Structure 1
Amino acid sequence: MDILLTWVQRISDWLWGPPLIVLLTGTGLYLTVLLKFFQFRYPLYIFKQTIASVGKKPKGEGTVTPLQALTSALSSTVGASNIVGVPAAIMFGGPGAVFWMWLIALFAMAIKFSESVLAVHYREKNEDGEFVGGPMYYITKGLRMKWLGVFFSVALIIELVPSIMVQGNSASVSLAQTFSLNRISAGIGIAFLIGLVVIGGIKRIGKVTELVVPLMAGAYVGAGLLIVLTNVSAVPAFFSLIFSNAFTSSSALGGFAGAAIAETVRWGFARGLYSNEAGMGTAPIAHAAAMTDHPVRQGFWSVIGIVVDTLLICTTTAFVVLSSGVWTGENALQNPAALTADAFRSYFGSGGEYFVSISLVFFVLSTITVIIFYGVKQAEFLFGKIAGHVLKLVYLAAIIIGAAGGAKAIWGFLDLALAFILFPNIIAVLLLSRKVRSLYAEFFTSEKYYLKDIGKQESVYETQQKVNNS
């Protein structure tokens, strides 16, 4: 078993080194250029069409509201990686890893936008009248490569097992340390609560996440903001530490063993991408069910997802961990998963530790709820609805198994499994990138969409010329 774990770790380290860094960075840059740097050119417009439109009647048809689609997608991205993964990246890659998290997030916006646009464009209705979509549909319908769509679905079904185990492990360990609960009992309790939600399908999931995600994300970021406001003098040092270590090797300090620049980039990219899931094709499964009048409009919501997940929540964790100094502690490297709780405790006392534990549990509950939905949709795509119900039971059992498992071994398998869903999806996005560009141009040149939103009366020809020449 030890030999297997060693080889899995070696392969994972290699894949999440130059191969995937080059692939994902190149894809993000290519799509950013192809889409005319939209995430940098239209931030205010994107905000108005998403967060500022909450409360208005959704445009177009779909199964859930755009906000419910976003909160469902966020539920799968906002999880253990935000609280546990960030300090792990800092301990193994150094403070500079946070910079690479930020950088990949900016270009990942173009990837995630493209995935969601394709998911909505190629979606269809299932036998219950619900809109369904995602990589398996745009690979099959857009590329006419059903074998690749099947490969993606099978790979995702398998990948979600270690992913659910990681989430279950993180929550059970946190509950065991904070409230002295038995880890297996905690896992059973978590599985039971999640089972109550996933039985209801995407509509119930959307209603639950619409309530839970804003509350838990707001509370967590709010607590971090309070720490920032009471430690404003630490803000310059925080950014200085990150930027100074982003391009140079990190020196050993306290319990931190130091990291070479390659490790800094590797950990920043790996944990950043695991956090926001860009390129993995999971979030588009949720966005495909949204009520919208055009695929591009729903694509904007996926951009907001990265802002919330990586730029807000991950940065909050990074600031609290680095500013508190807990990452330099004597035993920090042995247990990076506990650093966020230690950091909050250093600011708020024992209440801070309880707050992190409770936050982690809520994050995990919402994450597992949605990724089980993702897996179920793969089973339905491959074998029908009955297979989906069977898979729910398998995933719920994985929560309990993960609660008793070793985190280090699970993380190793997870990094490897992620690569197998990422490759077919990225291939599909690249091959369909011209379709994304066509839909993008259609949205911004049509008097039914962008021009109507901003109140301009330019002709379609004039606007098309501006898009082509910009």
Structure 2
Amino acid sequence: MLEWITQINNAVNGVVWGPAGLALLFGTGLIMSVRTGFFQFRKMGYWLRHTIGAIFTNKDVTAHTSKEDMAISQFQSMCTALAGTIGTGNIVGVATAIVSGGPGAIFWMWVMALLGMMTSFSENVLGVYYRRKNEKGEWSGGAMYYLTDGLGAKKGCKQLGKVLAVLFACFCILASFGIGNMSQLNSIAGNMNTAFGVPTIVTGLALMVVTALIVIGGLKRVAAVTEKLVPLMALFYIAGALIIVVMHAGNIPAAFGAIFKGAFNLQAAGGGALGYGISQTITWGFKRGAFSNEAGLGSAVMVNSASNVKEPVHQGMWGVFEVFADTIVVCTLTALVILTTGVVDLQSGAVLANVQDNALVGQAFTAAFGSLGPKFIAISILLFAYSTTLGWSHYGTKAVEYLFGTTGSRIYKVVFVGMTVVGSTMKLGLAWDLSDTFNGLMMIPNLIGVLALSGTVVAITKNYLDRRVKGLDIEPMWSAFEEYQKQEEAEAAAEEAAQRGQ
């Protein structure tokens, strides 16, 4: 039975994360970059000022909403989104890319991230534009809604939009238990056991209690935790990685040289674990880059849509920053830690130390920090992986809510909490593979929606820049759609009341 499941999963995975799937992901990022005039480069100073820069200059970005307002702040939405994306992929995923595709794979991770910035931007713009409030007053947004209300509004596409939305929600729920829960908890428990001797069952029970207190409390509680946890974990890991890179500063030019030469060298992966040449270098760079920052998967948009912003482009710019922080900053530092410490061959990516690629970063930290190295990595993975669990708990909740309503989401949260113990104590080889596949399956309906609604993204972006940058006195596009939504809700309420009266 397991062998049969594995064969089917490998076949599906080969499609969604094969040349066709990666071409769709790359192509969407390229198309959205071209159609928005390469907004991520042309307006780089602007989006940096209005995201990370605004944290220090605009108190509205970090101010908490009132108890009555179920939305979260822009800063909280960014932290929760980063909580979901910054995870073991930033540590283990980078090492796997280097070992399997050579140092040049890092270059293609950058390429995927630079284009993925506009995929993430587009997802967030559509997420905020098409979001709606549930019966509890919370914002609900994501691919489910822009597939249903956006793609579904196009002539002849109503049924298609609905089917794709349901498929996306189903894949998201399955992925939330795999990559968002059990796989992350398994990594935490294993590393805590290795570094500190903590039994896996103890780690699982402790995290189950903590998860119950946070997740069952709803998004505002999750956001309150992630806004403290994410900056802490990022600074902790970045500081440790920078210390190592500075200690080996003399090797930095050689490391970057290996990345750029390996990106186009036909023998780049010739001595690596797989050694398939430049095609594998590009494939592993694209695959691990997408897996790390999740641009195109449609996951992070579900929490970005819960922000208290009115302007879709504002939240779109946070999407650009999230990809930048995840891949260009954190993944690059991990790559430099590996490439400057001598644990791999700079030409091929072949491991020189006698360790598996999933322990490669730990070996690099051990070389610099001695016995503290494994402990540092164990704590980093605890913070990274657990924050991913918190982020994905919201994604799964919103997917269940779309399919079954808020009652179903409450049941989901209880099951999600219980699975933390299961994930901490079981062997998860197949679970990792299945999680990878479900992530890829989420990507396909989401990207169809983004491409189909690319004109809407362009129009909203132009409308925003005309008003906010050029100073034109025109009506915001979001206000017109907001009125349309209110009218639809009023008509639906009247129809429901009429049916009750009968």
TM-score under structure 1 length normalisation: 0.91
Deviation at 1:228, TM superposition (A): 2.1
Runs of 4+ in 1 over 4 A off after TM superposition: 59-62, 457-460
Partner Cα separation in structure 2 for residue 136 and residue 409 of structure 1: 28
Aligned residue runs from structure 1 range 189-208, under 5 A: 189-208=206-225
Deviation at 1:242, TM superposition (A): 1.4
Partner Cα separation in structure 1 for residue 70 and residue 413 of structure 2: 24
Indicate if the aligned counterparts of 2:248 and 2:341 stay in contact, CA closer than 8 A. Answer: no
1:300 paired residue among 317, 336, 355? 317
Partner Cα separation in structure 2 for residue 411 and residue 266 of structure 1: 19
2:167 paired residue among 146, 151, 155? 151
Residue in 1 aligned with 2:233?
Answer: 216
Deviation at 1:185, TM superposition (A): 2.8
Partner Cα separation in structure 2 for residue 183 and residue 91 of structure 1: 28
3-state DSSP class of the match of 1:279?
coil
Partner Cα separation in structure 1 for residue 397 and residue 320 of structure 2: 25
Indicate if the aligned counterparts of 2:16 and 2:441 stay in contact, CA closer than 8 A. Answer: no
The CA deviation string for residues 37-63 of structure 1, in whole angstroms up to 9 with x for no partner, is 100101111111111111524389971
Deviation at 1:316, TM superposition (A): 1.1
Residue in 1 aligned with 2:461?
Answer: 440
How many pairs does the alignment contain? 450
**Would the alpha carbon gap of residues 8 and 376 (structure 1) be closer, same or farther in structure 2, given more than 3 Å must change?**
same
Matched, 1:450 2:469: yes
3-state DSSP class of the match of 1:326?
coil
Residue in 1 aligned with 2:156?
Answer: none
**Would the alpha carbon gap of residues 326 and 409 (structure 1) be closer, same or farther in structure 2, given more than 3 Å must change?**
farther
Partner Cα separation in structure 2 for residue 397 and residue 207 of structure 1: 22
Aligned residue runs from structure 1 range 328-343, under 5 A: 328-332=351-355, 335-343=356-364
1:250 paired residue among 250, 268, 272? 268
Amino acid at match of 1:175: M
Deviation at 1:391, TM superposition (A): 1.2
Partner Cα separation in structure 2 for residue 326 and residue 182 of structure 1: 29
1:429 paired residue among 431, 446, 450? 450
Residue in 1 aligned with 2:430?
Answer: 409
Amino acid at match of 1:450: V
Deviation at 1:131, TM superposition (A): 1.6
Aligned residue runs from structure 1 range 62-101, under 5 A: 63-101=71-109
Please, which moves more after superposition, 112-121 or 286-295? 286-295
Indicate if the aligned counterparts of 2:108 and 2:263 stay in contact, CA closer than 8 A. Answer: yes
3-state DSSP class of the match of 1:58?
helix
Matched, 1:136 2:144: yes
Amino acid at match of 2:34: V
Indicate if the aligned counterparts of 2:245 and 2:340 stay in contact, CA closer than 8 A. Answer: no
Aligned residue runs from structure 1 range 32-181, under 5 A: 32-55=33-56, 56-58=58-60, 63-144=71-152, 145-163=161-179, 164-181=181-198
Indicate if the aligned counterparts of 2:216 and 2:414 stay in contact, CA closer than 8 A. Answer: no
Aligned residue runs from structure 1 range 11-26, under 5 A: 11-26=12-27
Partner Cα separation in structure 2 for residue 251 and residue 88 of structure 1: 12
Deviation at 1:14, TM superposition (A): 4.3
Aligned residue runs from structure 1 range 316-335, under 5 A: 316-327=333-344, 328-332=351-355, 335=356
Partner Cα separation in structure 1 for residue 369 and residue 59 of structure 2: 41
Deviation at 1:240, TM superposition (A): 1.2
Indicate if the aligned counterparts of 1:58 and 1:292 stay in contact, CA closer than 8 A. Answer: no
Structure 1 stretches lacking a partner, 5+ long: 452-456, 461-470
Deviation at 1:147, TM superposition (A): 2.5
**Would the alpha carbon gap of residues 331 and 7 (structure 1) be closer, same or farther in structure 2, given more than 3 Å must change?**
farther
2:375 paired residue among 322, 347, 354? 354
Please, which moves more after superposition, 201-210 or 424-433? 201-210
TM-score under structure 2 length normalisation: 0.85
Deviation at 1:112, TM superposition (A): 0.4
What percent of counterpart residues are identical?
38
Residue in 2 aligned with 1:400?
Answer: 421
**Would the alpha carbon gap of residues 258 and 406 (structure 1) be closer, same or farther in structure 2, given more than 3 Å must change?**
farther
Partner Cα separation in structure 1 for residue 165 and residue 73 of structure 2: 27
CA RMSD of aligned residues (A): 2.0
**Would the alpha carbon gap of residues 2 and 99 (structure 1) be closer, same or farther in structure 2, given more than 3 Å must change?**
same
Please, which moves more after superposition, 206-215 or 110-119? 206-215
Indicate if the aligned counterparts of 2:97 and 2:288 stay in contact, CA closer than 8 A. Answer: yes
Partner Cα separation in structure 2 for residue 286 and residue 459 of structure 1: 31
**Would the alpha carbon gap of residues 293 and 389 (structure 1) be closer, same or farther in structure 2, given more than 3 Å must change?**
closer
Indicate if the aligned counterparts of 1:72 and 1:210 stay in contact, CA closer than 8 A. Answer: yes
Deviation at 1:311, TM superposition (A): 0.7
